[in-house]
């Protein structure tokens, strides 16, 4: 995508999706909630509430969230130091395992949409949210044998394909504005009045695939 499409999508998203306020109010209220290797159960409860505000209806309980976060803490600390566009193939296996561990923590079902949202909250600069419409937009379809996209789909198909989109957006900004890559990411965020960059990518995906905004399908 061109970087201006990314900015356009973010503005469309804010116009069309009233629940966006839930994301920012949660981020602001819980800015330090996930710094400790054992988060408070109250923080886990608030995360579940945030997920359900988006009609996720997660089967996870606060103790399950606490337990899975503890088990992933070291890996998440490492991921937090890596910008999304700098994720390497060597990181993808760990991301797959983390995704599956979160998605399988609930007792009633494998929770694919909720897992991506949770991992983004825990590593906001590195990992991107999705839903069923977005995963289908990236060529990941559900069927009777795989009713929900998996950690493998997320790590080895979705993330690399989205990285390619992101790299194109950054590249067009670099050329137009004469910037290096880091400066281009910052310029895009500033143009959209949004950060982190992963949230911008989610807003593009959500506006295009979940909300089907017509203008994003036009060159």
Write out the chain's pLDDT in tens, 219 residues: 999 999 999 999 999 999 999 999 998 888 899 999 999 999 999 999 999 998 778 888 999 999 999 999 999 999 999 999 999 999 999 999 999 999 998 766 788 899 999 999 999 999 999 999 999 999 998 776 667 889 999 999 999 999 999 999 999 999 999 999 999 999 999 999 999 999 999 999 999 999 999 999 987
Backbone phi and psi for residue 218, each to the nearest 5 degrees, phi listed first: -110, 145
Q: What pLDDT score does 142 carry? A: 75
Q: What is the pLDDT of residue 69?
A: 97
- CA 61 centroid distance within chain: 21
Contacts of 3 (CB under 8 A, 6+ apart): 169, 170, 172, 173, 176, 184, 188, 191
pLDDT for the residue numbered 59: 83
What pLDDT is stored for residue 138 in this prediction? 96
Structure tokens at 159: 């993330």
Whether residue 145 contacts residue 134, with contact meaning beta carbons closer than 8 Å, is answered with no
**Which two three-digit tokens encode residue 6?**
């990314």
- The pLDDT value given to residue 56: 77
Cα torsion through 51, 55, 61, 62, rounded to 10: 30
Helices (H), the chain: 3-16, 20-29, 41-53, 62-79, 89-103, 112-122, 132-137, 151-153, 159-177, 181-192, 197-205
């Amino acid at each position: 995508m061109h970087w201006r499409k990314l900015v356009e999508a973010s503005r469309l998203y804010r116009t069309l999706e009233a629940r966006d306020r839930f994301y920012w109010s949660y981020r602001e209220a819980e800015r330090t909630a996930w710094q400790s290797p054992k988060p408070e159960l109250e923080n886990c409860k608030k995360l579940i509430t945030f997920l359900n505000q988006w009609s996720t209806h997660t089967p996870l309980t606060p103790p399950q969230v606490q337990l899975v976060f503890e088990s992933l803490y070291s890996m998440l600390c490492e991921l937090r130091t890596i910008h999304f566009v700098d994720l390497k193939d060597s990181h993808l296996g760990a991301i797959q395992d983390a995704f599956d561990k979160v998605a399988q923590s609930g007792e009633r079902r494998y929770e694919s949409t909720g897992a991506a949202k949770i991992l983004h909250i825990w590593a906001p600069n590195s990992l991107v949210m999705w839903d069923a419409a977005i995963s289908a937009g990236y060529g990941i379809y559900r069927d009777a044998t795989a009713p929900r996209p998996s950690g493998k789909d997320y790590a080895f198909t979705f993330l690399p394909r989205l990285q390619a989109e992101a790299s194109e957006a950054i590249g067009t900004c670099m050329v137009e504005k004469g910037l290096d890559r880091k400066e281009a990411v910052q310029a895009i965020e500033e143009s959209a009045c949004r950060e982190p960059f992963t949230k911008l990518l989610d807003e593009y995906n959500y506006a295009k695939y979940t909300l089907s905004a017509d203008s994003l399908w036009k060159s």
